[in-house]
């Protein structure tokens, strides 16, 4: 029988500074030049040490919003979004503006010359000749990698089809680090559309590099985790299980990563309608979770988390979206070479 557990209030990075001990490594003084000029296409493009350095920097920015303020004055970021976005585009724009830089770009490919048939390669050549870095989202898997081959400036993959979303992974890992104190010794449940959910693919792959991570994949049969991600976990010795039952998994989880069913990747609407509400996290199901469970969601949500869950102190998805801005500020400052 499931047991009820008391809810715990999740600390913020600021509140939890002593656990994270951001001051032990002064990345600003020490320099984070390793990432200068680098693209980020998949989460493991940066080493574990480089990724951890980014989180140290993001933690400093979160603790002191004036940290690195204006450090990117004169730098231009191009945001090229061939697919809709709220958080990723706006948080990147907020990040560069808070760092004192500027941005240009488009949120709708219909307003760009892509709608006249211009190739991605030519679009990227243009953006790279105007800006110091490019953030791009595309419905096509591999588009960001292709773009990086035509660009003289760093390309940051803001999502390529159902493949990867590595800056969301920086957001997710930074959130876990802030709220749990470390990214290790955790059982992480991924629930929902694990087939098309690019944030799941990137985060699962990234978590496999940390110590003593256990993963439980919770999905309908038709939306299971792709074989190449399962193979990566197997290769890296990560213990994982697959289930169709959220209630059964709940008591075991330290982190629950909910995802929406990705309507835009389905070939037929009937399948989407049949699968869209396969898993709904509500207040009753939350009673099955640990008191210090962290519930994440890359957002946007549709129905998979009931609004009543928002009031539960373990619901961390809006906090997570704000942490994404700090993670992206750290990323931009590093790839633009100002964090030195």
Q: Which residues are catalytic?
A: 87-88, 116, 137, 165
By CB under 6 A, name the one of 33, 47, 86, 234 that touches ligand CP. Answer: 86
Q: Are 314 and 7 contacting, i.e. CB atoms less than 8 angstroms apart?
A: yes
Which 101-160 residues touch ligand CP, going by CB under 6 A? 159
Could you tell me which stretch among 86-94, 185-193, 248-256, 287-295 binds ligand CP (CB under 6 A)?
86-94
Nearest to 202 by CA among 167, 231, 164: 164
Distance of closest approach, residue 116 Cβ to ligand CP, in angstroms? 26
Helix segments in 236-282, DSSP class H: 246-249, 269-275
Tokens 């098309």, located at residue: 196
- Residue 100 — φ and ψ, nearest 5°? 95, 0
Nearest to 95 by CA among 133, 126, 121: 133
Which 299-338 residues touch ligand CP, going by CB under 6 A? 299-300
Distance CA 262, CA 264 (A): 6
Q: Closer CB to ligand CP, residue 101 or residue 324?
A: 324
Distance CA 319, CA 274 (A): 31
Distance CA 204, CA 158 (A): 17
- Residue 182 — φ and ψ, nearest 5°? -160, 160
Distance of closest approach, residue 54 Cβ to ligand CP, in angstroms? 18
Question: Residues in contact with ligand CP, total (CB under 6 A)?
Answer: 9
The reply on whether position 298 binds ligand CP by CB under 6 A is yes
Kindly write out the interface string for residues 222-261 of this chain, putting x where it contacts ligand CP by CB under 6 A and - elsewhere.
Answer: ----------------------------------------
Q: Closer CB to ligand CP, residue 291 or residue 300?
A: 300
By CB under 6 A, name the one of 53, 71, 123, 168 that touches ligand CP. Answer: 168
By CB under 6 A, name the one of 32, 56, 71, 88 that touches ligand CP. Answer: 88
Total residue length of the chain: 340
Nearest to 200 by CA among 169, 170, 177, 242: 169
Q: Closer CB to ligand CP, residue 298 or residue 337?
A: 298
The reply on whether position 201 binds ligand CP by CB under 6 A is no
> What residue ranges bind ligand CP (CB under 6 A)?
85-88, 159, 168, 298-300
């Amino acid at each position: 029988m499931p047991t009820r557990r008391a809810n715990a209030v999740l600390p913020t990075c600021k509140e939890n500074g002593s656990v994270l001990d951001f001051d032990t490594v002064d990345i600003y003084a020490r320099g984070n030049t390793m990432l200068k000029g680098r693209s980020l296409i998949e989460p493991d493009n940066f080493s574990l040490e480089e990724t951890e350095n980014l989180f140290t920097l993001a933690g400093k920015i979160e603790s002191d919003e004036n940290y690195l303020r204006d450090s990117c004055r004169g730098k231009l970021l191009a945001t090229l979004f061939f697919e809709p976005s709220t958080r990723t585009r706006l948080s990147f724009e907020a990040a560069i503006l808070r760092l004192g830089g500027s941005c240009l770009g488009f949120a709708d490919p219909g307003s760009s010359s892509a709608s006249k048939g211009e190739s991605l390669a030519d679009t990227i050549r243009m953006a790279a000749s105007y800006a110091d870095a490019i953030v791009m989202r595309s419905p096509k898997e591999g588009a960001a990698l292709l773009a990086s081959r035509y660009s003289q400036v760093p390309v940051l993959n803001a999502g390529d089809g159902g493949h990867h979303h590595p800056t969301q992974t920086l957001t997710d890992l930074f959130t876990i680090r802030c709220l749990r104190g470390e990214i290790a010794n955790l059982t992480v449940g991924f629930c929902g559309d694990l087939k098309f959910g690019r944030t799941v693919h990137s985060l699962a792959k990234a978590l496999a590099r940390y110590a003593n991570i256990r993963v439980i994949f919770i999905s309908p049969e038709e939306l299971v985790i792709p074989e190449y991600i399962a193979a990566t976990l197997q290769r890296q010795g990560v213990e994982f299980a697959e289930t169709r039952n959220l209630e059964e998994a709940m008591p075991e989880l330290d982190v629950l990563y909910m995802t929406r069913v990705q309507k835009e990747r389905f070939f037929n609407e009937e399948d989407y309608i049949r699968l869209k509400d396969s898993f709904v996290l509500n207040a009753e199901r939350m009673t099955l979770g640990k008191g210090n469970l962290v519930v994440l969601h890359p957002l946007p949500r549709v129905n998979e988390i009931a609004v009543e869950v928002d009031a539960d102190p373990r619901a961390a998805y809006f906090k997570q979206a704000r942490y994404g801005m700090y993670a992206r500020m750290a990323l931009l400052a590093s790839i633009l070479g100002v964090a030195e």
